[in-house]
Amino acid sequence: MIRISNLKLFTGSWFRRLLAGMLVGVMAIALTACNLAQFRTEAAQVPQLLISLLSEPKTFNYLTSTESPSVFSFIYEGLITQNGLTGEIEPALAESWDVSEDAQRIVLTLREGLRWSDGEPLTAEDVVFTYNDLFFNEEIPTSIRDVLRIGEAGVLPTVRKLDQRRVEVVSPEPFAPLLRNMSLAILPAHSLRQLVTTKNSEGEPLFVSALGTDTNPAEMAVNGPYQIASYTTSQRIVFRRNPNYWRRDGQGNPQPYIERIVWQIVESTDNALVQFRSGGLDLLGLQPDYFSLLKREERRGSFTIYEGGSAPGTNFLAFNLNQGRRNGIPLVDPIKSRWFNAVEFRRAVAYAIDRQSMINNTFQGLGQTQNSPISVQSPYFISPEEGLPVYDYSPDKSRELLLGAGFQYNAEGQLLDAEGNRVRFTMITNSGNKVREAMGAQIKQDLSRIGIQVDFAPLAFNTLLNKLNSDLNWECYLLGLTGGVEPNSGANVWLTEGRSHRFNQAAQPGQPPIEGRVVSDWEKQIEQLYIRGAQTVDEAERRAIYAESQIVTQQYLPFIYLVNPLTLMAVRDRIQNVKFSALGGPLWNIHELEIAEN
Question: Could you write out the DSSP letters of every residue in 538-595?
Answer: -HHHHHHHHHHHHHHHHHH-SSEE-EEEEEEEEEETTEES---BTTTBS-TTGGG-EE
pLDDT digits (tens, 9 = 90+) for 127-166: 999 999 999 999 999 989 999 999 989 999 999 999 999 9
Confidence of residue 4 (pLDDT cuts 50, 70, 90): low
Q: What is the pLDDT of residue 503?
A: 97
Q: What is the pLDDT of residue 45?
A: 64
Q: What is the mean pLDDT of residues 170-186?
A: 95
Q: Is the pLDDT confidence value at 14 over 60?
A: no
Q: Are 168 and 107 in contact (CB under 8 A)?
A: yes
User: What is the reported pTM?
Assistant: 0.82
Residues 6+ apart with CB under 8 A from 487: 374, 378, 380, 530, 533, 546, 549
Q: Is the pLDDT confidence value at 564 over 80?
A: yes
Q: What superfamily would CATH give domain 4-74+217-310+566-595?
A: Periplasmic binding protein-like II (3.40.190.10)
Q: Is the pLDDT confidence value at 2 over 80?
A: no
Range from 33-37, 290-294, 349-353 carrying the lowest mean pLDDT: 33-37
Whether a cis peptide bond, with omega within 30° of 0, leads into 458 is no
**Residue 330 belongs to what H/E stretch?**
strand 329-330
Q: What is the pLDDT of residue 6?
A: 57
CA separation for the pair 177, 533 (Å, rounded):
9
Which of the two residues, 212 and 24, has the higher pLDDT score?
212
Residues 6+ apart with CB under 8 A from 346: 319, 340, 556, 557, 560
Q: What is the mean pLDDT of residues 289-302?
A: 93
pLDDT digits (tens, 9 = 90+) for 417-439: 999 999 999 999 999 888 999 99
Q: Is the pLDDT confidence value at 566 over 80?
A: yes
Q: What is the mean pLDDT of residues 367-393?
A: 96
The dihedral through the CA atoms of 471, 472, 477, 483 has a sign that is positive
pLDDT digits (tens, 9 = 90+) for 457-479: 999 988 998 999 899 999 999 99
Q: What is the pLDDT of residue 114?
A: 98
Domain regions of the chain by residue span: 4-74+217-310+566-595, 80-195
Q: What is the mean pLDDT of residues 366-392?
A: 95
Percent of the chain with pLDDT over 70: 92
Q: What is the pLDDT of residue 415?
A: 98
Q: What is the pLDDT of residue 429?
A: 96
Q: What is the mean pLDDT of residues 312-335?
A: 96
Q: Are 254 and 40 in contact (CB under 8 A)?
A: no
pLDDT digits (tens, 9 = 90+) for 262-273: 999 998 889 999
Q: What is the pLDDT of residue 3?
A: 62
Q: What is the pLDDT of residue 69?
A: 78
pLDDT digits (tens, 9 = 90+) for 20-69: 332 223 223 333 334 444 545 444 467 899 999 888 899 999 999 977 77
CA separation for the pair 596, 455 (Å, rounded):
49
Q: What's the full length of the chain, in residues?
A: 598
Q: What is the pLDDT of residue 21?
A: 31
Q: What is the pLDDT of residue 5?
A: 64
Burial 288-306 (b: 16+ CB within 10 A, else e): bbbbeebeeeeeebebebb
Q: Is the pLDDT confidence value at 108 over 90?
A: yes
Q: Is the pLDDT confidence value at 183 over 90?
A: yes
Q: What is the pLDDT of residue 249?
A: 96
Q: What is the pLDDT of residue 10?
A: 37
Q: What is the pLDDT of residue 589?
A: 97
Q: Are 165 and 124 in contact (CB under 8 A)?
A: yes
Percent of the chain with pLDDT over 90: 83
CA angle 436, 440, 445 (to 5 degrees): 150
Averaged confidence pLDDT in the chain: 91
Q: How far is CA 52 from CA 34, 535, 539, in A?
A: 16, 40, 39
Given the candidates 3.10.150.10, 3.90.76.10, 3.40.309.10, 1.10.10.10, the CATH classification of the domain at 80-195 is 3.90.76.10
HSE toward the beta carbon, residue 178, CA cutoff 13 A: 30
